[in-house]
Structure 1
Amino acid sequence: MDAIVKKLMPEVAKPSRQEAEEAVRVLLRWAGDNPEREGLLDTPKRVVKAYEEMFSGYQADVDQVLGTTFGEVSGYDDIVLVKDIPFHSHCEHHMVPITGRAHVAYLPRDRVLGLSKIARVVDVFARRLQTQESITAQIAGAIDGSLKPRGVAVMIEAEHMCMAMRGVRKSGSTTMTTTFTGEFKNNAAEQVRFMTMLRIQ
């Protein structure tokens, strides 16, 4: 799946750290401030370091994250759900934060994932420039492609700072997206079970 995502992105030469820091100085000047004043002297270095962490998903290999599975499950073949996975991402249109929760479920065929792997997959895709629709589909596609389960269900609830901080400025509004594959997509009863499990506290 990650190979497909990368294929959609044309190859670009990565600028040096020095070039990235200079770009931050340009933006500071454009915003109307002086990058040479005391409070901003180290800001370019801090921003570049923060970007390394916030966009570390570009360096992560989701196929490697999902590489280890387990077959000893004592015959268990029902829904595995990890809900309320917090994440932070950035809108690819304005590069401002998206904050939310992901709920990820799958129906095992003969193997299962370590539960932490599901949270890590959410982080891999969240730590890239994203739309909520894309991250929802990418999480489902990665698990579907790697584990080959009978079905995958993903729901994301998130607040977009591009709506809260600019434009219409509607703070607190939440966007919800869902993706279903396999039995979740073809069987409405499985979708209802997924939604019902999300409501259980």
Structure 2
Amino acid sequence: MDAIVKNFPLLDDASGRPTQKEAEEAVRVLLRWAGDDPEREGLKDTPARVVKAYKELFGGYELAAEDVLGRTFEEVAGYDDMVLVKDIPFFSHCEHHMVPIIGKAHVAYMPNGRVLGLSKIARVVDIYARRLQTQETMTAQIARAIDETLAPRGVAVMIEAEHMCMAMRGVQKQGSTTLTTTFTGSFQSDPAEQARFMTMLRGFK
């Protein structure tokens, strides 16, 4: 056990996260593995830049959806119909290859006496997007967070995204889009509500 501890020094915090220095060294290792020289002029500052970028790209690990969704509004003048926020742009990273997922999310819920500030929904999408993800997991996480925090009559989430792990490597099929959905409550139990969600989403009259 002592040997294992000694091989992983200078942990950043009690969670076991490596220090920035260790993260930068890991980037240097990858640069050497790719066949380049991390000491050449163009790459000298790359490790620090990558670590700084990763801190932003994966900032969702530092945030909790419950904190974002904690404030709600009850003065809604009796409004109890669907609230839909569509075309929320996001980027994420595939947990299998750590390459980008680029897409948009559509989120709807049926109020049950309380509503959310609309920006809160977009922020929840960002929280889960800024983590290593699969699209299926992210779709379910957004729906679950809203369902458990707001307790609405139902939640509907659809995500449309292009996966760079398909476009840049492997089958290399550019422009292929993946759709995922999660429904809870009235959206899950009533096919008519699902159909209305899809109709509103596509902008049909």
Secondary structure, counterpart of 2:88 in structure 1: strand
**Gap regions ≥5 residues in structure 2:** 1-13
Task: Show the counterpart of 2:97.
Answer: 94
Q: Say whether 1:16 aligns with 2:13.
A: no
The one-letter amino acid of 2:152's match is P
User: For the residues of structure 2 that align with 1:101 and 1:64, how far apart are their CA atoms?
Assistant: 23
The one-letter amino acid of 1:174's match is T
Q: Shift of the alpha carbon at 1:106?
A: 0.1
> Could you tell me which of 18, 24, 29 is aligned with 1:26?
29
Q: Shift of the alpha carbon at 1:100?
A: 0.1
Task: Show the counterpart of 1:66.
Answer: 69
User: For the residues of structure 1 that align with 2:181 and 2:16, how far apart are their CA atoms?
Assistant: 34
Task: Show the counterpart of 2:129.
Answer: 126
Q: Say whether 1:199 aligns with 2:202.
A: yes
* Bigger radius of gyration among the two: 2
Secondary structure, counterpart of 2:91 in structure 1: strand
Task: Show the counterpart of 2:112.
Answer: 109
Task: Show the counterpart of 1:188.
Answer: 191
Deviation per residue, 1:134-189 (Å, 9 max, x gap): 00000000000000000000000000000000000000000000000000000000
User: For the residues of structure 2 that align with 1:128 and 1:56, how far apart are their CA atoms?
Assistant: 7
Q: Say whether 1:142 aligns with 2:145.
A: yes
Secondary structure, counterpart of 1:105 in structure 2: strand
- Counting matched residue pairs gives 191
The one-letter amino acid of 1:38's match is E
Would you identify which runs of 4 or more consecutive aligned residues in structure 1 move more than 3 Å?
none
**Gap regions ≥5 residues in structure 1:** 1-10
User: For the residues of structure 2 that align with 1:165 and 1:61, how far apart are their CA atoms?
Assistant: 32
Q: Say whether 1:77 aligns with 2:80.
A: yes
Tell me the TM-score normalized by structure 2: 0.92
